[in-house]
Amino acid sequence: MTPARTTLLTHARLIDPDAQTDAAGWLLIAADGTIAATGTGEPPEAETTYDLGGKCLAPGIVDIGVKVGEPGERHKESFRSAGMAAAAGGITTMVTRADTLPVIDSPEVLEFATRRANEAAPVRVHSLAALTKGRDGKEMTEFGFLMDAGAVGFSDGDRVTTNTKVLSRALTYARSLGALVIAHPQEPILSKGACVTSGKFASLRGLPAVSPMAERMGLDRDIALLEMTRARYHADQITTRRALPALARAKSNGLDITAGTSIHHLTLNELDVADYRTFFKVKPPLRAEEDRIATVEAVGEGLIDIISSMHTPQDEESKRLPFEEAASGAVALETFLPAALRLYHAGQLSLPQLFRAMALNPAKRLGLASGRLSKGAPADLIVFDPDAPFVLDRFDLNSKSKNTPFDGQRMQGRVRATLVGGALVFGDL
The domain ranges of the chain are 7-57+379-427, 60-366
pLDDT of residue 5: 85
Q: Where does 178-260 have alpha helices with state H?
A: 188-191, 200-205, 213-229, 244-252
Count of residues making up the chain? 429
**What's the rounded Cα separation, in Å, for the pair 337 and 332?**
9
The DSSP annotation for 27-74 comes to EEE-TTSBEEEEESSS----SEEEE-TT-EEEEPEEEEEE---TTT-T
On the question of a cis peptide bond just before residue 102, with omega within 30 degrees of 0, the verdict is: yes
pLDDT of residue 105: 97
- β-partners of residue 237 are none
- Provide the 8-state DSSP code for 3: T
pLDDT of residue 2: 43
Question: Phi first, then psi: what are they for 175, rounded to 5°?
Answer: -60, -40
Question: Phi first, then psi: what are they for 262, rounded to 5°?
Answer: -100, 155
pLDDT of residue 4: 53
pTM: 0.96
Mean pLDDT by 10 residues, the chain (429 residues): 75 97 97 96 93 98 96 96 98 97 97 97 98 97 98 97 97 98 96 92 90 97 98 98 98 98 97 91 96 98 98 95 94 98 98 98 98 97 98 97 96 98 96
pLDDT of residue 318: 94
pLDDT of residue 1: 41
**What's the rounded Cα separation, in Å, for the pair 88 and 300?**
26
Domain 7-57+379-427, what architecture? Roll (2.30)
Domain 60-366, what architecture? Alpha-Beta Barrel (3.20)
Question: Phi first, then psi: what are they for 64, rounded to 5°?
Answer: -90, 130
